[in-house]
A and B are shown apart, each in its own frame.
Chain A
Amino acid sequence: MEYENEKRMWSPLVERIGIPVILGAAVMLIAVFVPVLVWAQDAITQAMSVEYRDIPGIGSRNVIWVVAQQHLLLAGFVLGVPIFAWVCELVGWKTKEPRYDKLAKEFTKLLTSAYATTALFGGILLFLLIGLYPKLMAYLTDIFFPSFVVYCILFLLETCTLYMYWYGWDAMQGSKKGLHLFLGFLLNLFAIGIMIVPNAWATFQASPVVISEGSAIERAWAATWNPTWWPVNIHRLIANVVLGGFICGAYAGIRYLLAATKEEREHYDWMGYVGNFIGVFGMLPLPFAGYWLMREIYQYNQQMGITLMGGFLAWLFILQAMLIGVLFLGANYYFWMGITYRIPGSEQNYRKPILAMLVVLMICLGVWMTPHSLVASLEEARKMGGAHHPLLGVFGVMSAKMTVSNLMILVTFMSFIMYWRAGKQETATWAKVAKAVMGALLVIAGIAVIVLGVWGYFVPAIIRINYFSVAQVLIVLFIMLTFTPLTAALMKSAKTTTEMVWGQMPIRAGYCLVSNAVMVILLMSLMGYARSSSRVHWHIYGVMRDTSEYAYSPALGYAAAFMSLNTFLFCLLVAFIFWVATMGEKGKALPKEGLRESPGKVPEGIAPALAGGSPTSEEISRT
């Protein structure tokens, strides 16, 4: 019918204007289109040579900034949580305490949706990079193509393992638990692989090596083994655990604030404690890893090191000190509140040690946050006799910063030990000796760290960096590695004098957990900016220059606004993921709860998905 219509329409047309005219029109068309085709050819060659594309108004770099940061933070979360969950599962399996297994499962559930979101952002990032930075991507692809393939394979394996791990959780309880734990181990192994392969791409940009001729695999391998690859791998691995732990803590904190029942409060109080604990434990070795990374950067290229530490990024490290300081304080604050609130009647006994720790922490923080070169008005500078204040030149240098960060780690560790021992009475015969030895060791270690720090001013930089700083780190590690098993042995035989009471923490404890998570996310954003802007105007340091209009590095304030935005977006994303994950559980959990408990206990008046969430079971509370 339609065809007929068309025919009727067309045939008179042909008849009327005749074939020559049509031919002429065709020639005309060709005449018009040939140049167009040639232009198209031009466009193709032009497209091949496009170095940058821009998104007007927003700026290509800003878009990449936000998307890459979201992807990286999500990835950190997705890689940190399985480590965390797996350790919890292992602990649950060893101690036969079901609540650990339950905690692990609760977080693995989040993993599946978070994993998909991460992949989604990774995909967006990839498309944007190919579209906006074709020159750079072509260069990187040329070098790294074999590792792209490896990455894809790892991704497939990771996905398979994750689904088996999650969906097999209940099926593999009991005798098959070992297999499940092995799956969890594999999951973490692939996850680490997934992290370190792209790390090679990013670290190659910061510290490229010369690529000789060779097969594609040889070249990719040479580029992968660049000087900062492993330092970044280790640093990120630890940081991911910290992120996972603190986000878990924040989740528990919010759920604690929203909790309506006593059971919920107890469960989330405990979960917050575990999250904070894992975060703190990851955080303790983190400065060491950061120090190693910084040292490798300095060795790789001094110019980059100076840009970071003394050049235009110097103030960034003051901000970093501030954030780390707030994080350390927050973590300790939570421990201290835990002691006074969870162990009734312990308040008076612990006031003095807490005060001492607080004072040490604050002095350390004061030294750490003192900048090397100051902001001073002209008048002040005249009074000081130049922009170099004699006293602050002393506090501003690396030797002082290394010393105080070591001391802060030591104090935080002691905070944890104190929490561990709180409310318990050692019964072992050797307890007195052990405590005396530990006290003496602690004092000696503290003095040794300070002495090495002060001595560090009087020796050449290389001796300080190679021996003194390493010695300080080793001392602190030694204390941590001896105290933990010693205290564990002491606590094994200790009798509990005051039982821990969960669910008694004040509201500010919940906020404190949230604050810690925000600080960690901000820190990761900040250091991401540091890593990226230490390359200054290079895509690949010293090899490929950034010739786009965004080659400059923005000032700290502008960058901080972006970091805040990124942090906020990430928090929203995570909240959304958690909300989605707990939505399904609500339908199942509530009726059961309703059956088991009196109807009055069903939470009401609060955002239902967030409040009505996880079924809280009776085995949670130990009392």
Chain B
Amino acid sequence: MNRPLAKAALILIGMYIVLVYVLPLFTAPLPASLIYLYLALTLSAVLIYYTISGTTLEEFMGPIVRFLSGVDQVGPAKTARLLVLIVFPLLVGWQTYTRLAPSDLPPPENRTIHPAPPGEFVGLSNPFPKTPENIMMGKGLYAAYCSPCHGANYDGKGPAAPGFNPPPANFRDPGTIAQLQESYLFWRIKKGGVGLPVEGMPWKSAMPRWEVELPDEFIWKIIMGEYDGAGQSPRTWEEEE
């Protein structure tokens, strides 16, 4: 006997177990928003699959409809139906309550890590040639000014790093400077955290505004040293280099 309902329930439960318990064994746990998304997709896949033809639709929906309508029900089924009809609204109410109840947790945040830079910083390129001396100088400046937070290994794990939330950027992560152009770094170093647009939540970043202390020349050279030290190369539009 084909039991599509049981199968569907198994698939959903299996998916939930994988997402919540199995996946964290390999990587960081998923946030609830994503678990909901993936479960919703699984559910819609199940629904689509069982409603493609008339017979599967009947196999799938029939028991649900019969159970809920309560026609010719006796014994435990009747009680179960009554329970469902009572518990379900309560569940919805509870959900609503937990979402609306005041809590001491900060609201989920969505900070844009790499917001669009202001126009005048988009089209710049490093005016200094990539010579070993310049890179060396950049690394020296990096060690002096940047490494306390971003780390001597360019991994965002400097001695001062644990004090910050959000943590200092890890330049070895391919999702950071490797995705960006040199002009972008120039903007971020020069204008610092307070120079971010609203979506970047300037109040959260502790990055200093280096234009106050460093001349542009130093900043450009630090960028050079940073890329070299982290083993990354800036995103470019030209194919060579």
* A/B contact in complex, CB under 8 angstroms: yes
What mask results when residues 497 to 539 of chain A are scored 1 for a CB within 8 Å of chain B, else 0? Answer: 0000000001010000000000000000000000000000000
Cα–Cα, bound, A359→B112 (Å): 32
Contacts of A362 in B (CB 8 A): 41-42, 44-45
- Tell me, yes or no, whether B51 is within 8 Å of chain A by CB: yes
Do B113 and A355 have beta carbons less than 8 Å apart?
no
Q: Choose one: A299, A306, A390, A508; the contact of B28 (CB below 8 Å).
A: A390
Q: Choose one: B48, B53, B108, B115; the contact of A376 (CB below 8 Å).
A: B108
Contacts of B42 in A (CB 8 A): 362
Q: Choose one: A315, A333, A390, A461; the contact of B27 (CB below 8 Å).
A: A390
Contacts of B122 in A (CB 8 A): 301-303
Whether A329 contacts B31 in the complex (CB less than 8 A), given A340-B52, A354-B52, A375-B108, comes out as no
Cα–Cα, bound, A377→B33 (Å): 9
Nearest-Cβ distance from residue B158 to partner chain A, whole angstroms = 16
What mask results when residues 21 to 60 of chain B are scored 1 for a CB within 8 Å of chain A, else 0? Answer: 0010001111111100110011011001101111101000
- Tell me, yes or no, whether A311 is within 8 Å of chain B by CB: yes
Do A312 and B105 have beta carbons less than 8 Å apart?
no
- Tell me, yes or no, whether A72 is within 8 Å of chain B by CB: no
Interface centre among B42, B54, B57, B167 (most CB of A within 10 A): B54
- Tell me, yes or no, whether B116 is within 8 Å of chain A by CB: yes
Nearest-Cβ distance from residue B117 to partner chain A, whole angstroms = 6
Do B235 and A460 have beta carbons less than 8 Å apart?
yes
- How many Cβ-Cβ contacts under 8 Å join chain A to chain B? 144
Stretch from A43-51, A153-161, A243-251, A381-389 at the B interface: A381-389
Contacts of B237 in A (CB 8 A): 299, 462
Do A370 and B34 have beta carbons less than 8 Å apart?
yes
- Tell me, yes or no, whether B130 is within 8 Å of chain A by CB: no
Interface centre among B27, B31, B45 (most CB of A within 10 A): B31
Whether A460 contacts B233 in the complex (CB less than 8 A), given A311-B115, A362-B42, comes out as yes
- Within 154-200 of B, Cβ neighbours of A (below 8 Å) are at 166-167, 173-175, 179, 181, 197, 199
Cα–Cα, bound, A354→B50 (Å): 11
Do A374 and B34 have beta carbons less than 8 Å apart?
yes
- Tell me, yes or no, whether A378 is within 8 Å of chain B by CB: yes
Do B52 and A333 have beta carbons less than 8 Å apart?
yes
Smallest CB gap from A326: residue in B:
B44
Do B52 and A377 have beta carbons less than 8 Å apart?
no
Contacts of B114 in A (CB 8 A): 306, 310
- Tell me, yes or no, whether A590 is within 8 Å of chain B by CB: no
- Tell me, yes or no, whether A391 is within 8 Å of chain B by CB: yes
Do B116 and A311 have beta carbons less than 8 Å apart?
yes
Cα–Cα, bound, A362→B30 (Å): 19
Cα–Cα, bound, A314→B200 (Å): 12
Whether A336 contacts B52 in the complex (CB less than 8 A), given A377-B108, A391-B28, A462-B239, comes out as yes
Whether A389 contacts B111 in the complex (CB less than 8 A), given A379-B105, A462-B236, comes out as no
Cα–Cα, bound, A461→B197 (Å): 25
Smallest CB gap from B112: residue in A:
A311
- Tell me, yes or no, whether B238 is within 8 Å of chain A by CB: yes
Cα–Cα, bound, A384→B108 (Å): 14
Nearest-Cβ distance from residue A208 to partner chain B, whole angstroms = 13
Contacts of B55 in A (CB 8 A): 347
Do A373 and B53 have beta carbons less than 8 Å apart?
no
Do B31 and A314 have beta carbons less than 8 Å apart?
no
Whether A366 contacts B235 in the complex (CB less than 8 A), given A310-B116, A376-B31, comes out as no
Q: Choose one: A347, A374, A386; the contact of B166 (CB below 8 Å).
A: A386
Contacts of A311 in B (CB 8 A): 112, 115-116, 197, 199
Contacts of B37 in A (CB 8 A): 366, 369-370
Cα–Cα, bound, A312→B112 (Å): 7
Do A460 and B236 have beta carbons less than 8 Å apart?
yes
What mask results when residues 100 to 136 of chain B are scored 1 for a CB within 8 Å of chain A, else 0? Answer: 0000011111111111111100110000000000000
How many A residues touch B, CB cutoff 8 Å? 58
Nearest-Cβ distance from residue A79 to partner chain B, whole angstroms = 33
Do B236 and A387 have beta carbons less than 8 Å apart?
no
Nearest-Cβ distance from residue A71 to partner chain B, whole angstroms = 30
Whether A375 contacts B117 in the complex (CB less than 8 A), given A303-B122, A333-B52, comes out as no
- Tell me, yes or no, whether A11 is within 8 Å of chain B by CB: no
Cα–Cα, bound, A225→B48 (Å): 46
- Within 219-241 of B, Cβ neighbours of A (below 8 Å) are at 233, 235-239
Whether A340 contacts B29 in the complex (CB less than 8 A), given A306-B117, A369-B37, A460-B235, comes out as no
Nearest-Cβ distance from residue B17 to partner chain A, whole angstroms = 17
Do B111 and A387 have beta carbons less than 8 Å apart?
yes
Nearest-Cβ distance from residue A84 to partner chain B, whole angstroms = 27
Nearest-Cβ distance from residue B104 to partner chain A, whole angstroms = 11
Cα–Cα, bound, A405→B32 (Å): 25
Whether A373 contacts B175 in the complex (CB less than 8 A), given A301-B122, A362-B42, A362-B45, comes out as no
Whether A385 contacts B52 in the complex (CB less than 8 A), given A310-B112, A310-B115, A376-B108, comes out as no
Cα–Cα, bound, A515→B54 (Å): 20
Q: Choose one: B33, B52, B118, B174; the contact of A375 (CB below 8 Å).
A: B33
Contacts of A390 in B (CB 8 A): 27-28
Q: Choose one: A303, A373, A457; the contact of B111 (CB below 8 Å).
A: A373
Do B31 and A384 have beta carbons less than 8 Å apart?
yes
Do A384 and B112 have beta carbons less than 8 Å apart?
no
Do B179 and A461 have beta carbons less than 8 Å apart?
yes
Contacts of B53 in A (CB 8 A): 337, 340-341, 347
Do A384 and B117 have beta carbons less than 8 Å apart?
no
Nearest-Cβ distance from residue A262 to partner chain B, whole angstroms = 18
Whether A366 contacts B38 in the complex (CB less than 8 A), given A310-B115, A312-B199, A386-B167, comes out as yes
What mask results when residues 456 to 491 of chain A are scored 1 for a CB within 8 Å of chain B, else 0? Answer: 010011110010000000000000000000000000
Smallest CB gap from A325: residue in B:
B41
Q: A residues touching B (Cβ–Cβ < 8 Å)?
A: 299, 301-304, 306-307, 310-312, 314-315, 329, 333, 336-337, 340-341, 347, 354-355, 358-359, 362, 365-366, 369-370, 373-381, 383-393, 397, 457, 460-463, 466, 506, 508, 542
Given contacts A306-B115, A462-B235, 15 further A-B contacts (CB under 8 A): A303-B117, A306-B114, A311-B112, A311-B199, A329-B44, A333-B48, A336-B52, A347-B55, A380-B108, A383-B29, A386-B166, A388-B173, A390-B28, A391-B27, A392-B34
A-B contact pairs, 8 of them (CB 8 A): A312-B115, A347-B55, A377-B108, A381-B31, A389-B27, A389-B30, A460-B235, A463-B239
Nearest 5 A/B pairs, CB to CB: A340-B53, A306-B116, A376-B31, A384-B28, A311-B116
